[in-house]
Structure 1
């Protein structure tokens, strides 16, 4: 039995490395091409646009992606049909997208204008960001459903098909067709659109829905999301606010340097993707809660070892790593170490938070939001945004705080389930 399980996980790891891992690597390589070939001013604008895209994606989710996993587990235990739950989740996600998109449409041009970008340039970037966010949102829901079905290979194919569009944009940039911000953003839009189209085609006719009114279903979804929403929003805000402040007070050079070392951190993001793509959906199929909890702690310990190894590599050999970014960013040794330490912490916290939510342990999430926002409000007003090192250090502090709180909930869950479990 143990041998069969180890073989199964090894096969999943290999498949992930060859397919989804390859897709993430394509995105990372494309990102490094953007760093090397884009002018600093264009790259800084691309960084602001990409950060705004992340803000929209996270803020229009507010825990609904985790709700997909949670209600999938409930449907397998005699709950409402998964198709009906999924329809409610999609409806709420679209409403949130409209609201958050309107907020971004106000904030992004305002921040960009402070950095002396003209209105036409900012509106082009904003249009590409909003279109990308909508396609990314729809594709993300489809891919999560495919993973819950156990269709890992099919989800990888959709992801790779989309990421190839980033390769096209990067190749055009290398060839000198355009080295502007809009080429990189257009590559992101094509990536999200192709991924959505491919995943929708593969899922056609596969999701069962009873199409009958389920009393309290929408309320149950909202009750699950309500506690997670403040924490997700706080997480979405913290990195966006930091980069927006860096843009206003530090200028394009600081933003470009911070975002450039972030492209190296995308290497760790490949491993974080393994938690999202494989680990959590795979463990969600474990019906016995005690086994689920034990398996989760094993995963977290393994990810902590991996993260520590990555930090050690950054400490011992920063030069070869920074070479990937090009000569403009060759002296960012300290910045690289801080960025990869933050990524290592996020590697563990991502798995911890998603596993907690899959168990329905979300009641204390509003407290996490309060702590994170209080910490940000306490530090942000007097923080130094004129140096990349300082900007990255603030992200490190906030990420460490998030991990600590997630681990506390993991410890409380088995002992005091009433304190942490969702009311659905």
Structure 2
């Protein structure tokens, strides 16, 4: 037995594997705290807001996420791909980051102009008064601008695996958000106040991220036209995908906000709070696996081994989540309050859709971290086909019908991402 242990310790990959396991445990334990803080914040909001007000909160947060996705338009993918090539050079890394941030500011201006009338219209249609709609829109602006630089500023520390600094900053933001929510929700249970309470701590966190970046980046660099051209090449290739995903990714909310009612909208938002279970694995993979996969050499066996290992982790995570939902639906719904206690079957359906979506999105992000993206025409065609098919099969104006559609759509997306990912990996050069 001792001989076997000694042999394992002497293996050439033992130290690297041990360090990686330690890193996962550190990241995982911190992420548990972060997601617990976020989950408590979300549950507090669900239980304290009236159903009609929570419908507006759900809609506002969905619009914020869509607006951020439009503004990114693939810029973060381009910055990650280009940064993975020069991550050891502080000056070149600074130029890539500065160019990405400059592009995002320009995209943000365009996105905000287009989105403003849509946001106001949807809020008014879901029983918001004019004053409330305007206040909600104004509260979205600080949160929107905070989200502009957040994902870009995290790329460099992730590439250098400075995970502890990132997580300390995320903890500060999460605790600050929870404190502000607790201080305001009992006195001002309004959507615009809660959105402000979420956005202000993120603005503080971004200022700290800039300080963290100075350890690895020469931050006084100017945007570079050549780098901008390279990023825009990637943006051009995946922008149609981003636009379509921005709409189809939250199509459940969009359809219910236009054709459904505020009760169903609030219900889907409340059930979506359990998506925090997904966010834990999304953050782990985005922090540990995507930057490492981006740095791998273009060799088939190495890429395939990492990709399959990542899939195994994703399936195990999804299995654990679904088992929890199957065994404890009543307990989970109790957390949301009496208004949502009858949604056990809807809970199972939405979590199944989220699990399939988690695997599909992470697989696409993994191969996308190396600069490879699905043909946008194919993606749009597939998604339009699923919408048309679902229209004739399910009633998409009801909560149950739209959840069936969501599961079907995520499955099609997963299949397409798998076919594309394996084709890219197989086309890589083979080690002799």
TM-score (norm 2): 0.89
Match of 1:229 among 230, 235, 239: 239
C-alpha separation between the residues in 2 aligned to 1:45 and 1:381?
Answer: 29
C-alpha separation between the residues in 2 aligned to 1:189 and 1:224?
Answer: 29
The structure-2 alpha-carbon separation of the partners of 1:317 and 1:209, relative to structure 1 and needing over 3 Å to count, comes to closer
C-alpha separation between the residues in 1 aligned to 2:71 and 2:212?
Answer: 24
For 2:40, the equivalent position in structure 1 comes to 29
For 1:309, the equivalent position in structure 2 comes to 320
1:48 aligns to 2:59 (yes or no): yes
What's the offset of the Cα at 1:354? Answer: 1.2
**SS in structure 2 at match of 1:35:** helix
The structure-2 alpha-carbon separation of the partners of 1:211 and 1:262, relative to structure 1 and needing over 3 Å to count, comes to closer
C-alpha separation between the residues in 1 aligned to 2:326 and 2:269?
Answer: 19
What's the offset of the Cα at 1:59? Answer: 1.3
Query: Residue by residue, what CA displacement relative to the aligned partner does 1:263-310 show, whole Å, maximum 9, x if unpaired?
Result: 012212211111112221233333353313321221112211220221
Q: CA RMSD in A?
A: 2.5
What's the offset of the Cα at 1:318? Answer: 0.9
The structure-2 alpha-carbon separation of the partners of 1:413 and 1:106, relative to structure 1 and needing over 3 Å to count, comes to same
C-alpha separation between the residues in 1 aligned to 2:113 and 2:386?
Answer: 27
Match of 2:287 among 277, 281, 288: 277
Larger Rg: 2
What's the offset of the Cα at 1:370? Answer: 3.3
The structure-2 alpha-carbon separation of the partners of 1:147 and 1:388, relative to structure 1 and needing over 3 Å to count, comes to same
For 1:238, the equivalent position in structure 2 comes to 248
Match of 1:113 among 119, 124, 133: 124
What's the offset of the Cα at 1:348? Answer: 1.2
What's the offset of the Cα at 1:383? Answer: 5.4
Conserved? CA contact 2:156–2:216, under 8 Å = no
C-alpha separation between the residues in 1 aligned to 2:108 and 2:61?
Answer: 16
What's the offset of the Cα at 1:71? Answer: 0.5
Unaligned stretches of 5+ in structure 1?
419-424
The structure-2 alpha-carbon separation of the partners of 1:90 and 1:161, relative to structure 1 and needing over 3 Å to count, comes to same
The structure-2 alpha-carbon separation of the partners of 1:358 and 1:80, relative to structure 1 and needing over 3 Å to count, comes to farther
1:362 aligns to 2:359 (yes or no): no
Conserved? CA contact 1:41–1:252, under 8 Å = yes
How many pairs does the alignment contain? 417
Unaligned stretches of 5+ in structure 2?
1-11
C-alpha separation between the residues in 2 aligned to 1:197 and 1:111?
Answer: 33
For 1:422, the equivalent position in structure 2 comes to none
Conserved? CA contact 1:44–1:252, under 8 Å = yes
Conserved? CA contact 1:245–1:385, under 8 Å = yes
1:349 aligns to 2:366 (yes or no): no
Greater mean alpha carbon deviation, residues 79-88 or residues 183-192 = 79-88
Match of 2:196 among 170, 186, 207: 186
For 1:421, the equivalent position in structure 2 comes to none
1:409 aligns to 2:420 (yes or no): yes
C-alpha separation between the residues in 2 aligned to 1:187 and 1:209?
Answer: 29
C-alpha separation between the residues in 1 aligned to 2:148 and 2:299?
Answer: 30
C-alpha separation between the residues in 1 aligned to 2:179 and 2:253?
Answer: 28
Alignment of 1:208-219 (within 5 A): 208=218, 216-219=226-229
1:134 aligns to 2:133 (yes or no): no
The structure-2 alpha-carbon separation of the partners of 1:98 and 1:289, relative to structure 1 and needing over 3 Å to count, comes to farther
**SS in structure 1 at match of 2:72:** coil
C-alpha separation between the residues in 2 aligned to 1:316 and 1:211?
Answer: 54
For 1:145, the equivalent position in structure 2 comes to 156
